Structure formats: C-alpha cells, structure tokens
Homo-oligomer: A and B are copies of this chain.
Amino acid sequence: MTNPTAAMLVIGDEILSGRTRDSNLHHLAGALTAHGITLAEARLVADDQAAIVTAVNALRAGFDHVFTSGGIGPTHDDITADAIAVAFGVAITHRADAMALLGAHYDRMGSTFNEARQRMARIPDGAVLIENPVSVAPGFSLDNVHVMAGVPRIFEAMLAGLLPRLTGGAPLLSQSLRVERAEGDVAGDFAALAAEYPDLSMGSYPFNQAGVFGTNLVIRGTDPARLDTAMARLVALFG
C-alpha cells in the first residue's frame, strides 16, 4: 500500500521578498509525515491571481491533497479564496454560515463587522469550512484543496482540526546515525547498503558542529522491522 501524496502551496509576497521566513511548510511536513501522507512537492508564489491559479491546478491534478497557506485575511492583498474559485471555475459568495460565525464573533468583541471583515466569509461554492479556533475566520476544503491561514498559530490550529478527517497511511519513520567521518568517506558503503534496501530511503547530511565535522546518515521507511534491520547493518558498517 502506498501512502497518499500531498503538495503545499505557500502564498504571499512577504515570503518571496525575504521579509518573512515561512514556518508553515516545516510544520506541515512534520505533521504529514506522522500522519502517513507523503509531502512530495511545495511551491511558493506571490499574491498574484494567475500564479495561484496555475499552481493550484497543477498541484491538485498531480497529488492526492493540496494544502495552501496565506491570503485569506480581510485586506486587499488577500486574494486566495477568489483565486481558488477561478481555479475550479465555480462561483464565490458571502456564505451564510461563515457570515453568521464572523458576525457573532465581532459582536462579542465589540468590533464592527465591516466590509473588509465580511470578505473573510467569501467561500467558493461547494467548499466545506475548516474551523479556526484562534480567530474564527474559517478556512475551507474544496475537493482535494485545503485552504488555510498564513499566520502560523492559525495554520497549525486549522491543520490540527483538518488532519484527522483525511485518510493517512503508514507513518514515515526515520532513524539516524551520527558518524564523525566525512560524507565522501562513507559514501561508497552507504550507497551499496541503500541499493540493498530499495524500499527504504537513505540520505546523508554533513554537519560541522563546534569544529567537529561529520555526517548524519538517515534511513526512512514505513516498516519498523525493515528499518531496524537496515539500521543494524549501518551500525555494523560505521558505528
């Protein structure tokens, strides 16, 4: 059985200009790995409708799931929901249930539920809302595309609610061995071992910590017994 595949789409000028460092990708990668969904690709695009539409349509055709972050707030540069509607060729309206949620929230806060905030109730036809326990304005799933906020705390809370609804496979497990030898010294034997275990993924990552040079050898796979066997071989070679 192969695990479901996923792609991420990070939307926002602030990442590509270097103003903000994205952290949602790293969070999603860890959460999907634990849930048994393989994150196979990620893309980052600017707040540009054509770029978002092209990326969403390429990714939703290529992978089982697409997770987006960013661009669903109240300001003029928040254009993700409209771009998703265009990508799917569906209408987008101020949806009644989202309007009710947001209206009640701003009433409680004593804030005006103005036109800008009402933008956050614009949801493409056919979507299912994703709950936002932090600041109420919902995300949504349309077919296999899951649209979430860019603010890390909200993205993480939305994902925590969404993920249990998605069918996962076997969690991707990993074990690693730290060796104080150069990558080029272990590469030959490590490649030979990797060739014996085509069902596992093996990678090597050089490090330099406080003047100590070495390599982290990492084995990844979904079968714990196979992982243990390969790891024992690795330890025998380099441990």
Contact = CB atoms under 8 A, between A and B. Distances in A.
Contacts of A206: 73, 151
A169 interface: no
Contacts of A14: 203, 205, 218
Contacts of A75: 183, 186-187, 190-191, 203-204
A interface: dominant SS: mixed
A40 B29 contact: no
Interface residues of A, number: 68
This chain's copy number in the assembly: 2
A99 B179 CA distance: 26
Interface of A: 12-23, 25-26, 28-33, 39-47, 51, 73-77, 106, 111-112, 114-117, 119-120, 151, 153, 172, 174, 182-188, 190-191, 194-195, 201-206, 208, 218, 220
22 contacts: A12-B203, A14-B203, A16-B39, A16-B42, A17-B33, A17-B39, A18-B28, A18-B32, A18-B33, A21-B23, A25-B44, A41-B51, A43-B43, A47-B203, A75-B183, A75-B203, A76-B190, A76-B195, A76-B202, A77-B202, A115-B188, A153-B208
